[in-house]
Structure 1
Amino acid sequence: MQEIRNYTINFGPQHPAAHGVLRLVLEMDGETIMRADPHVGLLHRGTEKLAESKPFNQSIGYMDRLDYVSMMCNEHAYVRAIEKLLGVEAPIRAQYIRTMFDEITRILNHLMWIGSNALDLGAMAVFLYAFREREELMDCYEAVSGARMHATYYRPGGVYRDLPDRMPQYKESRWHKGNDLKRMNEWREGSMLDFLEAFCKDFYSKVDEYETLLTDNRIWKQRTVGIGVIPPEQALAWGMTGVMLRGSGVAWDLRKKQPYAAYADMDFDIPVGVKGDCYDRYLVRIEEMRQSNRIIEQCVRWLRANPGPVMIQNFKVSPPSREEMKDDMEALIHHFKLFTEGYCVPVGETYSAVEAPKGEFGIYLVSDGANKPFRLKVRAPGFAHLSSMDAIVRGHMLPDVVAMIGTYDIVFGEVDR
Structure 2
Amino acid sequence: MAKEHSYTINFGPQHPAAHGVLRLLITLEGETVQSIDPHIGLLHRGTEKLMEHKTYLQSGGYFDRFCYVSMMANEHAYVMALEKMLAIKVPERAEYIRVLFAEITRLMNHLIWLGAYGLDLGAMSVFLYCFRDRDDLLAMYEAASGARMHANYFRVGGVWRDLPHTMPKYQSSSWKSKKKLADLNADRQGSLLDFIESFIERFPGRIDDYETLLTDNRIWKQRTQGVGVVSKERAMSLGFTGHMLRSTGVAWDLRKTQPYSVYDKLTFDVPVGVNGDCYDRYIIRIAEMRESVKIMKQCVDWLREHPGPILADAPKVVPPSRDHMKDNMEAMIHHFKLHTEGFSLPRGEVYSAVEHPKGEFGVYIVSDGANMPYRIKVRAAGFPHLAAISELCKGHLLADVVTILSSLDIVLGEVDR
TM, length-normalised to structure 2: 0.98
Rounded Cα–Cα distance in structure 2 between residues aligned with 1:383 and 1:48: 15
Match of 1:76 in 2: 76
Alpha-carbon distance in structure 2 between the residues aligned to 1:296 and 1:196? 8
Structure 1 182/3 Cα, relative in aligned 2: closer, same or farther at 3 Å? closer
CA distance in 2, matches of 1:102, 1:192: 16
SS of equivalent to 1:27:
strand
Spell out structure 1 runs of 4+ moving beyond 4 A: 1-4
Give yes or no for contact 2:60–2:75 (8 Å, CA) kept in 1: yes
Deviations 1:190-239 (A, max 9, x none): 00111111100100000000011111111111111111011111110110
Matched residue SS, 1:162: coil
Residues in 1 aligned to 2:89 and 2:158: alpha-carbon distance in whole angstroms: 8
Q: Is the 8 A contact 2:4 2:30 kept in 1?
A: no
Hey, what's the Cα distance between the residues in 2 that align with 1:11 and 1:243? 25
Preserved contact between residue 4 and residue 29 of structure 2 (Cα < 8 Å): no
Give the corresponding residue for 2:197. 197
SS in 2 for 1:170: coil
Q: Within 2, Cα distance between the matches of 1:3 and 1:117?
A: 34
Alpha-carbon distance, 1:322 to partner: 1.2
Which deviations, in whole Å up to 9, do the C-alpha atoms of 1:236-292 show, x marking residues without a partner? 011000001111111000000111111001100000111111001000000100000
Task: Give, as a single letter, the amino acid of the residue that structure 2 aligns with 1:251.
Answer: A
Mark the runs of 5 or more structure 2 residues left unpaired by the alignment: none
Gaps of 5+ in 1: none
Matched residues in 2 for 1:366 and 1:10: separation?
A: 39
Distance 2:356 2:212 in 1: 27
Q: Secondary structure at the match of 1:34?
A: strand
Corresponding position of 2:382: 382
Give the secondary-structure state (helix, strand or coil) at the position aligned to 1:369. coil
Structure 1 pair 187/3, CA: closer, same or farther in 2 (3 Å)? closer
1:395 shift after superposition: 0.3
- Give the equivalent residue in structure 1 for 2:393: 393
CA 1:123–1:2 in 2, change beyond 3 Å: closer, same or farther?
A: closer
**SS, match of residue 41 in structure 2:** coil
Size of the aligned set, in residue pairs, is 417
Structure 2 Cα separation of the partners of residues 310 and 354 of structure 1: 20
Question: Residue 36 in 1 paired to residue 27 in 2?
Answer: no
Shift of 1:2: 9.2
- For residues 59-81 of structure 1, what are the alpha-carbon distances to aligned partners after superposition, in whole Å with 9 as ceiling and x for unaligned? 01000100001100000001000
Partner deviation per Cα, 1:346-399 (whole Å, 9 max, x = no partner): 111111000000000000111111000111010011111101111110000011
Deviation at 1:175, TM superposition (A): 3.3
Residue equivalent to 2:276: 276
What aligned pairs does 1:189-228 form with structure 2 within 5 A after superposition?
A: 189-228=189-228
Which amino acid is 2:131 matched to?
F
Asked whether the equivalents of residues 83 and 157 of structure 2 are also in contact (C-alpha less than 8 Å), the reply is yes
> Normalising by structure 1, what TM-score?
0.98
Q: Determine the C-alpha separation between the residues in 2 that align with 1:65 and 1:144.
A: 18
2:322 maps to 322
Q: CA RMSD in A?
A: 1.1
Q: Shift in Å at residue 4 of structure 1?
A: 4.9
Whether the 8 Å contact between 2:5 and 2:30 is mirrored in structure 1 is: no
Q: Distance in 1 between matches of 2:211 and 2:4?
A: 45
Counterpart of 2:294 in structure 1 is 294
Deviation at 1:179, TM superposition (A): 2.1
Offset of 1:333 from its aligned partner? 1.1
State the distance in 2 between where 1:61 and 1:80 align.
Answer: 15
* Range 149-158 or range 173-182, more displaced: 173-182
Corresponding letter in the other structure for 1:41: G
- String of CA shifts for 1:123-177, please: whole Å, max 9, x gaps: 0010000000100010111111111100000001000000000111111223332
Identity of aligned residues (%): 62
2:61 corresponds in structure 1 to 61
Give matches, 1:145-164, under 5 Å: 145-164=145-164
For residues 221 and 4 of structure 2, the distance between their equivalents in structure 1, rounded to whole angstroms, comes to: 34
Partner of 1:247: 247
Alpha-carbon distance in structure 1 between the residues aligned to 2:97 and 2:2: 67
**Equivalent-residue separation in structure 2 for 1:5 and 1:212 (angstroms):** 43
Superposed displacement of residue 3, structure 1: 8.1
Amino acid at match of 1:120: D
Secondary structure of 1:88's counterpart equals: coil
CA–CA distance in 2 between the matches of 1:416 and 1:221? Answer: 32
Give the letter aligned to residue 40 of structure 1.
I
The CA distance in 2 between the partners of 1:392 and 1:115, in whole Å, is: 22
What's the CA shift string for 1:85-117, capped at 9, x where partnerless? 011021000000000000000000000000001
- Amino acid in the other structure paired with 1:263: Y
Which letter maps to 1:115?
G
Q: Distance in 2 between matches of 1:238 and 1:4?
A: 32
Question: Secondary structure in 1 aligned to 2:57?
Answer: helix
> Match of 1:202, SS?
helix
- Specify the alignment match of 2:349 in structure 1: 349
SS state at 1:362 partner? strand
Change (3 A) 1:3 1:219: closer
- The match for 2:306 is 306
Q: Which residue of 1 aligns with 2:5?
A: 5
